[in-house]
Structure 1
Amino acid sequence: MFTTSEFSRVSGLSIEMLRLLNEQQVLPPAAPNEDEELAAYDDAQLPIARAIYHLGKIEIPLERIKTLLDQNEGKVDIGRLLTQQERALPAKRIKAIATHEAAIEALCALSDDDISERKVDRLLVAGLRMRGRYTDCGKAFGKIGWQYGRQLCGPAMMLHYDKEYKEHDADFEACFPIRPAASRKGIEVHELEGGRLVSLTHCGPYETLTGSYVRLLRYVRTRHPGYLLPTRESFLKGPGWLFRGDPEKYRTELQILVA
């Protein structure tokens, strides 16, 4: 089961949208609670939430989404749902979405054998904290690399200061591990807390990170009383400065410091 914030994170639906979906009885929590954050969603609701996410992206009205979901009880076929719409995406794009959603479903079903726990020390990083879209981090990585160059000593990282998903005003920080250096030009050199870290290395495109986050959050919730923000993503292998590379070979370590 996931809290409202956690379900927002893995579904791509904002807290406000989840509230509206609950009020309209389109996607109510599996375990309601007067405290919105303590309301719980289960794994079986994720495919429905992901379908709503993609239908919302092509601006299908909520009433129409509700009708479509009522007509497609049981297993949600995201490819077919997207193809049926007047504002349908190009066939190639629909195929890519369907492929990614199938991969997410497969990842959710994997065991926890590759999730590990370890003690980590404090880590010195050079970071640029910002509000905006997650995709804005690329420019920040470039700025940090330009300012510090060879002083950087580890892969690019992104720190998430929100528990929930936010599309336009996410609070996050692009950073790199760094040797001792001074802050400059809006880039802060500071330490990340040490402690007990739970991690999982995701292999594949960023569009399928949801599946690994489901597993990691599920693991943490069943074994630890809580976790600390920010959560971390360490980009062990990703697109290069000039070439995108093969997204299937990207490796991203998802890290959560537990209480």
Structure 2
Amino acid sequence: MPVDQIPIGTFSRITQLSLKALRLYDERGLLVPAARDLCTGYRYYTFAQIERGIRIRHLLWLGFGLSEVEVILDARSRGDVGVICDLFAQRLAATEQEVRRLHVIAETLRLQDPLNGGFHMSITEPVIKEIPALRVLSRREQGVYQETIPRLIHELCDCVYPADGRQPTARIAGPIMFICHDEEYRETDADIEVAIPIVGPVGIDASGVEVRNLPGGRFASVLYTGPYPGVGKAYERIFAYMGEHRLIPAGPTRELYLNDPHEVPEDELMTEVLFPVLEAPRSA
């Protein structure tokens, strides 16, 4: 596989577009793979297509339908700002109308139940780091990212700082991290591992929590500052760097959370993205 080709599963995970969606976008001509295996029909994308994939995902998140996304991307390729501004104005008006509708519903429910009362971001230039092996407290399960990651973090922290007030025996030795084991983006059954580097003994009462050694190695690293949903731009930067330096992925990615979302505004959240890499083999 050429170094500038990304398998559909990896492309799915980076852009957060499901395989089903990518196949649909291929059929519609919205996001056509750069290459296809002649024998298997397996799709491959390029580093340059990551931006378009993330843009599609962002427009869908804003509430545009696929037909509108096609119009916006076509207008963008032609430099037709007027069409794009009109569609965004229409979407804004529809969103504000929906907000007003939901506000009315919320107020109605509150009165009837008296008993129950474009991201701002920055990304550093990628660097290569040699990361040592780490002893971590870990929990891994399937679920939805937005719900599962915060819950697993809370459960692991409870193991280190017992709720009954006992003195902790282990000490946290690094940032909390999320490790992604999927080859593709999954909406409801993502393979999620959360880990905390520790030193010292730890008593484990929670089911599914274990102490394990996390392998070290050579990693491409970028520091992303901004809301968590925009972290895909960090992966885009890393993949561009990997393409320029003939590097290929070599294992699960890690996201290290360097500050607390309860203590800083969203646009000040700091996430280090680590991608294990190897030198791409030279063509004969």
TM-score (norm 2): 0.71
Q: 1: distance between equivalents of 2:229 and 2:85?
A: 16
SS of 2:35's partner is coil
Distance 1:145 1:27, change over 3 A: same
Could you report, residue by residue, the CA deviation over 1:162-194 in whole angstroms, capped at 9, with x for unpaired residues?
132222221111121112435542211111111
> How many residues are matched?
241
Q: 1: distance between equivalents of 2:53 and 2:88?
A: 14
Question: How many Å apart are 1:68 and its aligned residue?
Answer: 5.2
Q: 2: distance between equivalents of 1:80 and 1:133?
A: 34
* Alignment pair present for 1:233 and 2:255: yes
- Residue 40 of structure 1 is matched in structure 2 by 45
Distance 1:53 1:206, change over 3 A: same
Distance 1:15 1:142, change over 3 A: same
- Residue 272 of structure 2 is matched in structure 1 by 253
Which consecutive residues of structure 1, in runs of 5 or more, have no partner in the other structure? 94-98
* Alignment pair present for 1:202 and 2:224: yes
Question: How many Å apart are 1:225 and its aligned residue?
Answer: 4.9
- Residue 88 of structure 1 is matched in structure 2 by 94
SS of 1:89's partner is helix
Query: Which one-letter code corresponds to 1:28 in the other structure?
Result: V
One of 157, 172, 175 as aligned partner of 1:145: 157
Distance 1:115 1:49, change over 3 A: closer
- Residue 49 of structure 1 is matched in structure 2 by 53
Q: 2: distance between equivalents of 1:27 and 1:50?
A: 11
Which consecutive residues of structure 2, in runs of 5 or more, have no partner in the other structure? 100-117, 162-167, 279-284
* Alignment pair present for 1:163 and 2:163: no
Contact 1:126 1:190 in 2 (8 A): yes
SS of 2:159's partner is helix
SS of 1:213's partner is helix
Distance 1:236 1:85, change over 3 A: closer
* Alignment pair present for 1:22 and 2:34: no
Contact 1:115 1:199 in 2 (8 A): yes
- Residue 202 of structure 2 is matched in structure 1 by 181
Contact 1:232 1:254 in 2 (8 A): yes
Cα RMSD between the aligned structures? 3.2
Q: 2: distance between equivalents of 1:228 and 1:76?
A: 41
Distance 1:181 1:147, change over 3 A: closer
Question: How many Å apart are 1:142 and its aligned residue?
Answer: 0.7
Contact 2:159 2:204 in 1 (8 A): no
Q: 1: distance between equivalents of 2:29 and 2:37?
A: 15
TM-score (norm 1): 0.77
Q: 2: distance between equivalents of 1:210 and 1:217?
A: 11
- Residue 219 of structure 1 is matched in structure 2 by 241
Contact 1:134 1:170 in 2 (8 A): yes
- Structure 1 residues 76-85 or 193-202, which shifts more? 76-85
SS of 1:229's partner is coil
